[in-house]
Amino acid sequence: MQMRFDGLLGFPGGFVDRRYWSLEDGLNRVLGLGLGCVRLTEADYLCSHLTEGPHRVVAHFYARQLTLEELHTIEISAVHSRDHGMEVMGMVRVPLYTQKDRMGGLPNFLANSFVGTAKFQLLFALKILNMVPEEKLAEAVAATLRPKKAAIDHSGGAG
């Protein structure tokens, strides 16, 4: 995923003008600007979501399995892309584990702010691609819904 300029987490992508591009051509054009080295095809398509509100947008979601070497290449390429430091502040790896405290890892990651349908797309992909066991995914989501404990000030000073 990416940390965006507005502090929200999202996936690489952008708007595609269907008058001039197929979905995959437009997506690869946008990915070329942001990542530089990955090409997606129709076979990588997972789903689409319609966002509600004044500016209705259809978000098409694609996913591809990468080798660790390919992921490293993308992460390095992303730092040198045209959008880095302007629209995109950096790549972010999603932790696919939950720590013993049942909050660290994926549950804490899911507590972040996501743009548009990105959180739903992430959860959908983790489930449909069997990247996280379904019961662990449900536990991670449930953990983000529990109220957080107030931080304890151990400094001893008055505030």
Q: Is residue 26 part of a domain?
A: yes
Average pLDDT, integer, range 71-76: 87
Q: What's the CATH code of the domain at 7?
A: 3.90.79.10
Kindly state the DSSP code that residue 152 receives in the 8-state scheme.
P
Q: Is residue 150 part of a domain?
A: no
For the whole prediction, is pTM greater than 0.85?
A: no
pLDDT per position as a tens digit, 4-59:
999 999 988 777 777 767 778 877 877 776 676 678 888 988 888 887 777 778 88
Q: Is residue 155 part of a domain?
A: no
The candidate with the shortest Cα–Cα distance to 24, out of 42, 9, 1, 6, is 42
pLDDT per position as a tens digit, 101-121:
999 999 999 999 999 889 999
What's the pLDDT score for residue 36? 61
What percentage of the chain exceeds 90 in pLDDT? 38
How many domains in the chain? 1
Domain span at residue 111 reads 2-145
Q: Is residue 159 part of a domain?
A: no
